[in-house]
Structure 1
């Protein structure tokens, strides 16, 4: 894609931040799925389940990166990301329906399936911030996924102690949404001028943060 080194590094850092913020729920799912296994099988289930989940997530994200090059999908993806950023702030997820299992195979299958379903927001956000760079996606996920798996409890504690991490993550996702919408080929004639593009992006970020934080306080 002809990205500079600074653009590649900042993009990778954005991928890592988005994945870690959105992966808190996935880390909880891993813990719930494995909590009834014997201790000697828990790590094995986590590693095997995560390996399968990583493969599916990387392949699916690369497919989404390609799909976003189709006219109209950048706009749709941006609008969906706005909703994802808002939900991240305003509506914490409920994991009560996640079952725990006594067998290794069942726990592994649960981790893979839950990650595939719950990871759709991660995939879209990462594909949006990648600017079409497969290297950025692969490197970013390669850094963030091991941290998420083996440091899952630390991530959860960090988010609990510093809720602003969620706000920053939602802001990055909202920025990515605004960038996708303003770079949609069908809207280039209207939104390409910097005097219009950047105010639109700032407006999207502000709207997401204000409404999301307000509704979080209400609930």
Structure 2
């Protein structure tokens, strides 16, 4: 412990902490989406607690996962089962308000249900992220003091992840305000979780025993898009049983199809063994900007037509 405290006064230690904080912020985008979506249906007085507890739980679980099961993804069926759980979470989130008549009953346990949703999603979505965090901590610890790298690595992981809690809370808070105003983002977030779930399931090592290499390649390509379609398609069916779909929910499906098309075009033109990342992200950015403009125009036109009616 004295060795760790001694190195905490040195620059390389804090460089390692900063690396882990930045890495966790980048990797926590999907966690912030889950926390914001899970807290969206909470009563206003419980939302702050939901974000605080959800963010704290997300970081705590990531610390545990980093220490305990950083090798878990090497085992068969782990990501397959995890992807199935994430599908359940995604569908649950997009259909949360399908039947508004139950709202008063559901909210009695919503805070705990929200925490359960965050926990399940974070465990599943962090399986690959913890490998990156553990690797970064290992390299940073070796640069600080190779002889005591194990103890320093543990301190770096705990300190770096814990100090990122306020940033996750802030990100979740901003996202929740946007989700409350723009329903399309709720369904877009659900599609994102479905995309991640599909990619997770397609990457399970057991598929190598079930399918040939060409089939596995196609699964890697289409796992994410099909996952997003499954979540939105299931959501449309479940919500459609209770009420008519609103404009934002329909536009989320259109946006998903456009994004899949952009993804396929990008992969065809700029992918391969040495992908041109600059062009790929330029095309993605342009497509995203056009979708925002299209969404704004569609909403404006819809409001004009309904005012006339």
Q: TM-score, normalised by structure 2?
A: 0.39
Change (3 A) 1:62 1:26: same
Deviations 1:145-181 (A, max 9, x none): 232123435699xxxxxxxxxxxxxxxxxxxxxxxxx
Name 1:115's counterpart in structure 2.
122
CA contact (8 A) 1:34 1:45 kept: yes
Distance in 2 (alpha carbons) for counterparts of 1:118 and 1:150: 20
Name 2:260's counterpart in structure 1.
none
Distance in 2 (alpha carbons) for counterparts of 1:8 and 1:208: 36
Indicate the structure whose relative CO is greater, using CA pairs within 8 Å and at least 6 residues apart: 1
Q: Which runs of 5+ in 2 are unaligned?
A: 75-88, 97-105, 139-149, 177-271, 285-309
Q: How many pairs align?
A: 143
Name 2:42's counterpart in structure 1.
37
Change (3 A) 1:125 1:59: same
Change (3 A) 1:153 1:210: farther
Distance in 1 (alpha carbons) for counterparts of 2:273 and 2:91: 28
Matched, 1:105 2:125: no
Name 1:188's counterpart in structure 2.
none
CA contact (8 A) 2:65 2:123 kept: no
Distance in 1 (alpha carbons) for counterparts of 2:118 and 2:64: 17
Q: Secondary structure at the match of 1:37?
A: coil
Distance in 1 (alpha carbons) for counterparts of 2:175 and 2:136: 22
Name 1:61's counterpart in structure 2.
66
Distance in 2 (alpha carbons) for counterparts of 1:21 and 1:12: 14
Distance in 1 (alpha carbons) for counterparts of 2:160 and 2:119: 20
Q: Secondary structure at the match of 1:130?
A: helix
Matched, 1:130 2:137: yes
Name 1:213's counterpart in structure 2.
278
More off after superposition, 125-134 vs 54-63 = 54-63
Change (3 A) 1:209 1:151: farther
Change (3 A) 1:145 1:155: farther
Greater share of helix: 2
CA contact (8 A) 2:51 2:173 kept: no
1:125 offset after TM fit, Å?
A: 1.3
CA contact (8 A) 1:64 1:127 kept: no
Q: Which runs of 5+ in 1 are unaligned?
A: 68-72, 77-94, 157-206
CA contact (8 A) 1:33 1:107 kept: yes
Distance in 1 (alpha carbons) for counterparts of 2:92 and 2:22: 25
CA contact (8 A) 1:20 1:155 kept: no
Name 1:139's counterpart in structure 2.
159
Change (3 A) 1:111 1:136: same
Larger Rg: 2
